[in-house]
């Protein structure tokens, strides 16, 4: 349909990030796009109606890019973190609504629920998680790495404030001794207290909170090497119970938790490093399995028309060919059947 080619010939160090949401509340999604410019600064770009609407220069590399809405009455904002320890919040007119500087590189951002609204959690390269309210006040700080030498690789949040005493944040903490195959997962409450620690989880950060039976009590989907686990959180720190485990036969690399067919039950879609896409019901039963080839690098949802089923976007690449890198994007039906495929020069 259209292409933004301005950054097509830049080297891999541009490290692009892409985020879509209805930023200006006009009923249509805008594209928020960030790159690291060859002139050694970051850029945040907003695209609407196939045209660049504005650009903002940023110090350092952009490390995360999320949308933020603190409560029902507050406007939607875009939050941007950088490798130089900065956190910016902008509105759709590119006006800066909040700016904070930490003394450490910021690695991850996520919003999480509180009884009175949402807060912003910030993860750092030293294993710290810091929470801020909508006015930029620091609510709490939790230091998860004893020697401040383990990075926060991912942050996941509960979709709603739980009805019982359960964690609302899951922080994936870089493994000790640079072991890239296994990380630690730390479960945090709304005031930053540690509920529990789970060893040997995936370092990609695929952990997701789910409420499979819609009772406002969460479970956790956790990726381990070659397996997927559903963990019932119960109430309190000592009542975590494994509900089921599913063997993937390869390392998980991408995940979705979504109601694909509109039956008000969430399904799981998991991509793996061996090029397979698994779709599971929340009781572990297999809905479908397709071997699409390559290595799955990302999964996304393309919403259907009103009352229609959503489609699945699958991005995969050839890990064996590092010189002439090739990637593909596919669109698949909710039942996994391929609709179309497009080759991408990466």
The pLDDT tens digits for 26-43 are: 999 999 999 887 677 899
Please give the pLDDT value at position 298: 93
Closest listed residue to residue 331, CA positions, set 319, 309, 253, 323: 309
Q: Is the pLDDT of residue 236 over 60?
A: no
Question: What strand order describes the sheet that includes 152-157?
Answer: 152-157, 169-173, 183-188, 194-201
| Contacts of 289 by beta carbon, 8 Å cutoff, 6+ apart | 276, 277, 278, 279, 336
In the structure, what pLDDT confidence band is assigned to residue 283 with cuts at 50, 70 and 90?
A: confident
pTM: 0.89
| Contacts of 304 by beta carbon, 8 Å cutoff, 6+ apart | 310, 311
Question: What strand order describes the sheet that includes 106-114?
Answer: 106-114, 117-124, 128-132, 138-143
Q: What tens digit of pLDDT does each residue of 133-162 get?
A: 999 999 999 999 999 999 999 999 998 898
Q: How many Å apart are CA 52 and CA 337, to the nearest integer?
A: 35
Please give the pLDDT value at position 26: 93
Q: Is the pLDDT of residue 292 over 50?
A: yes
Task: Express as a percent the part of the chain with pLDDT over 70.
Answer: 89
Please give the pLDDT value at position 167: 93
Please give the pLDDT value at position 258: 86
Q: How many Å apart are CA 150 and CA 295, to the nearest integer?
A: 27
Q: In this structure, are residues 332 and 304 in contact, taking their beta carbons and an 8 Å threshold?
A: no
In the structure, what pLDDT confidence band is assigned to residue 91 with cuts at 50, 70 and 90?
A: very high
Question: Looking at per-residue confidence, does 180 or 52 come out higher?
Answer: 52
User: Count of CB atoms within 10 A of residue 259's CB?
Assistant: 14
Q: How many Å apart are CA 63 and CA 60, to the nearest integer?
A: 9
Q: Is 69 exposed, middle or buried (0-12, 13-18, 19+ CB in 10 A)?
A: middle
* Mean predicted confidence (pLDDT) in 155-172: 90
* Angstrom distances, CA of residue 130 to CA of 141, 143, 156: 4, 9, 14
Q: Is the pLDDT of residue 9 over 50?
A: yes
Give me the residues paired with residue 18 across strands.
33
* Mean predicted confidence (pLDDT) in 319-341: 83
Q: Is the pLDDT of residue 330 over 70?
A: yes
Pull the structure tokens for residue 15. 């490290």
Q: Is the pLDDT of residue 321 over 70?
A: no
Please give the pLDDT value at position 100: 94
Q: In this structure, are residues 36 and 61 in contact, taking their beta carbons and an 8 Å threshold?
A: yes
Task: Express as a percent the part of the chain with pLDDT over 90.
Answer: 60
Q: In this structure, are residues 226 and 248 in contact, taking their beta carbons and an 8 Å threshold?
A: yes
Q: What tens digit of pLDDT does each residue of 247-282 get?
A: 999 989 999 988 877 777 788 999 999 999 999 988
Q: How many Å apart are CA 3 and CA 107, to the nearest integer?
A: 29
φ/ψ of 326, rounded to 5, equals -130, 140
Task: With H, G, I as helix, E, B as strand and everything else as coil, classify residue 203.
Answer: coil
Pull the structure tokens for residue 227. 């397996």
Length of the chain: 346
- Output the average pLDDT for the chain: 88
In the structure, what pLDDT confidence band is assigned to residue 191 with cuts at 50, 70 and 90?
A: very high
**H helix and E strand count, the chain:** 0, 28
Pull the structure tokens for residue 241. 């119970």
Give me the residues paired with residue 145 across strands.
none
SS3 content of the chain, % helix, strand, coil (to 5): 0, 50, 45
Q: Is the pLDDT of residue 299 over 60?
A: yes
Please give the pLDDT value at position 266: 81
φ/ψ of 328, rounded to 5, equals -135, 150
């Amino acid at each position: 349909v259209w292409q933004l080619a301005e950054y097509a010939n830049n080297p891999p160090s541009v490290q692009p990030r892409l985020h879509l949401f209805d930023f200006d509340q006009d009923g249509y999604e805008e594209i928020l796009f960030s790159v690291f410019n060859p002139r050694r600064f970051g850029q945040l770009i907003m695209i609407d109606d196939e045209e660049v609407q504005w650009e903002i220069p940023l110090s350092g590399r952009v490390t995360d890019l999320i949308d933020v809405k603190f409560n029902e009455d507050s406007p939607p904002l875009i939050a941007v973190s950088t490798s130089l320890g900065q956190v910016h919040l902008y509105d759709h007119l590119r006006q800066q609504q909040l700016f904070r500087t930490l003394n450490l590189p910021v690695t991850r951002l996520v919003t999480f629920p509180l009884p009175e609204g949402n807060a912003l959690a910030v993860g750092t390269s030293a294993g710290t998680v810091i929470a801020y309210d909508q006015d930029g006040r620091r609510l709490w700080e939790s230091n998860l790495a004893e020697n401040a030498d383990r990075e926060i690789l991912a942050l996941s949040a509960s979709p709603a404030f739980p009805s019982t005493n359960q964690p609302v944040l899951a922080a994936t903490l870089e493994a000790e001794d640079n072991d890239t195959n296994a990380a630690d997962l730390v479960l945090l409450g709304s005031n930053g207290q540690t509920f529990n620690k789970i060893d040997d989880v995936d370092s990609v950060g695929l952990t997701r909170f789910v409420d499979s039976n819609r009772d406002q009590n969460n479970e956790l989907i956790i990726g381990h090497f070659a397996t997927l686990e559903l963990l019932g959180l119960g109430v309190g720190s000592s009542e975590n119970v494994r509900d089921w485990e599913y063997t993937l036969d390869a390392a998980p690399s991408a995940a979705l938790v979504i109601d694909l067919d509109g039956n008000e039950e969430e399904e799981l879609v998991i991509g793996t490093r061996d090029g397979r896409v698994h779709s599971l019901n929340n009781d572990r039963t297999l809905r479908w399995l397709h071997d699409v080839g390559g290595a799955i690098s990302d999964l996304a949802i393309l919403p259907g028309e009103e009352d229609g089923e959503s489609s699945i976007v699958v991005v995969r690449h050839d890990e064996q060919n590092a010189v002439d890198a090739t990637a593909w994007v596919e669109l698949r039906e909710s039942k996994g059947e391929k609709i179309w495929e497009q080759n991408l020069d990466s």
